[in-house]
Amino acid sequence: MSTPDRLVEATRELLWERGYVGTSPRAIQQQAGVGQGSMYHHFAGKPDLALAALVRTAAELREAAGSVLDGPGSAYERISAYLLRERDVLRGCPVGRLTMDPEIVKSGELRAPVEETIAWLRARLTGIVQEGLDAGEFRPGLVPEEIAATVVATVQGGYVLARASGSPAAFDSAVRGLLALLAPGTPTT
């Protein structure tokens, strides 16, 4: 792996574990096994390196989610596959967790990959819900944008619940609850 790649990968890992504020240039250098000169030869500083790491993490997340959401099956089956896909629940979302980091939120440049990824996911889910409505799979009256927001909120909130309890059971429970509400044939109240 090249030095810039080692630096980006180290930064990705540290951002996921510690957030931006808790990730120092020294920690990045130690994790990557490079010296200060190498880091600043390839990147202007911590913000530049963090941006490269965020862009890569966001791209990987979109690729992983897209492979499930664009896969075979009905709208419900694809949403279910997305919700039930393998995740490291107790670590949380490597992108969503950064919305809690004040330095990421304050920086439009660092926040952009996070915002773009969440917007992409919501748009993709909105389209799938609309497909399900058009096919008569979901009950009439569902608002695709609201269901997409609910799916994203369930995943992100499920991470929080799991981390707070120290168990993935809370995440799994939230996912099962949402899938039960979305299941074709679920009566309206």
Structure tokens belonging to residue 95: 């992108």
Helix (H, G, I), strand (E, B) or coil at 110: helix
Q: Could you give the CA distance from residue 56 to residue 4 in angstroms, rounded to a whole number?
A: 12
pLDDT for 161? 96
pLDDT for 1? 86
Eight-class DSSP state of 135 = T
112 contacts 94 by C-beta, under 8 angstroms: no
Backbone angles phi, psi at 120, to 5 degrees: -60, -45
> What pTM value is reported for the model?
0.90
Q: Could you give the CA distance from residue 12 to residue 46 in angstroms, rounded to a whole number?
A: 12
CB atoms near residue 158 (< 10 Å):
24
Q: Could you give the CA distance from residue 88 to residue 166 in angstroms, rounded to a whole number?
A: 12
Where the chain has pLDDT below 70, the residues are 186-189
Q: Could you give the CA distance from residue 147 to residue 142 in angstroms, rounded to a whole number?
A: 7
pLDDT for 180? 96
pLDDT for 33? 94
Structure tokens belonging to residue 49: 């390196």
Q: Could you give the CA distance from residue 125 to residue 82 in angstroms, rounded to a whole number?
A: 10
pLDDT for 53? 96
Query: Residue written as tokens 């707070």?
Result: 164
pLDDT for 186? 54
The CATH class, in words, for 53-182 is mainly alpha
